[in-house]
Amino acid sequence: MATLVKAVTQRTEGAGREPEHTHQPETHTHDHYHLAHVHVEGADPEWRHQASWHTHEHDHGQAVHSHDYSRENEQEHHGRRAHIHDHLHPVHPPVL
């Protein structure tokens, strides 16, 4: 039995140099990165980034957003941007 999920209405408050636009849901495979913030103790404590990556099929739900970089940059570097997805269910049921 399939589980159906109700979509959430998305919008932007204000707009960046690239106006509000919508990305349709998609499922694909590429390297993707996860970023951890690690606290380093010492005389001058600080936070450092530690990255890890792996590849598997995953999905992205519909996204409505705006940003200050170009749409070409967004597409070209999608696989290099850290993003979140559910590792137990990397491909979700259809959204109504």
Which phi and psi (to 5°) does residue 71 adopt?
-65, -35
| Residue 33: inside a domain | yes
Grouping H, G, I as helix, E, B as strand and the rest as coil, residue 75 is: helix
How confident is the model at residue 76, as a pLDDT? 87
Which of 82, 58, 78 is closest to 69 using CA atoms? 78
Beta-carbon count within 10 A of 58 CB: 19
| Residue 5: inside a domain | no
Grouping H, G, I as helix, E, B as strand and the rest as coil, residue 80 is: helix
How confident is the model at residue 4, as a pLDDT? 59
Please state the rounded mean pLDDT for residues 46-57: 89
| Residue 87: inside a domain | no
Q: Is the pTM of this model over 0.85?
A: no
Instruction: Judge whether residue 6 has pLDDT over 60.
Output: yes
Number of domains in the chain: 1
Instruction: Judge whether residue 31 has pLDDT over 90.
Output: no
How confident is the model at residue 84, as a pLDDT? 66
Mean pLDDT of the chain: 81
| Residue 74: inside a domain | yes
pLDDT, tens digit, 9 for 90 and up, residues 61-83 = 888 999 999 989 988 887 777 66
| Residue 7: inside a domain | no
